[in-house]
Structure 1
Amino acid sequence: MYIEKVKQGTIIGTVLAMIISWDRNKSILLAIIHGALNWLYIIYYYFFLKESK
């Protein structure tokens, strides 16, 4: 259940980053790069910024 919500949230975040990038730059290449960077930030957050319990 929790994993599905995380997956949906990351997909929405990736798509949103790509849409905003396209709207701003009108470049497919930049939209793809921004979508990929969104995933890199999620990985960075998971390993370095999450609160320890």
Structure 2
Amino acid sequence: MMTKAKFYFFLFFIFSIQAFSQETETTPIIQTVISSGFGLGTVLAVVTSWERNKSVLLAFLHGIFSWLYVIYFVITRKKSERK
């Protein structure tokens, strides 16, 4: 199990990658991804949240956090959720 210090370091690492990976120029690919709406991480988060919790509110909140929830789900999934 992860300790609190490792967990917070992990979150800090994920957020810092996102912050420093931004480009100053907007390319057509970035514009397409931004304008298309839902991404793969959002869809994965909503589906996994719905399968685990059967709650629309939680699925919506986990969709907002997208990849963070997907990573959390992979770390904390139960044996019955592994196929």
TM-score (norm 2): 0.37
TM-score (norm 1): 0.54
Moved over 2 A (4+): none
Higher RCO structure (Cα 8 Å, ≥6 apart): 1
1:15 equivalent to 2:43? Answer: yes
Unaligned stretches of 5+ in structure 1? 42-53
Equivalent position SS for 2:52: helix
Larger Rg over CA atoms = 2
User: Do the aligned residues in 1 keep the contact of 2:46 with 2:60 (CA within 8 Å)?
Assistant: yes
Which protein has the bigger helix share?
1
**Root-mean-square deviation (Å):** 2.3
Identity rate of aligned residues, in percent?
Answer: 50
- In 2: Cα distance, 1:16 partner to 1:38 partner: 7
User: Do the aligned residues in 1 keep the contact of 2:44 with 2:66 (CA within 8 Å)?
Assistant: no
Unaligned stretches of 5+ in structure 2? 1-27, 69-83
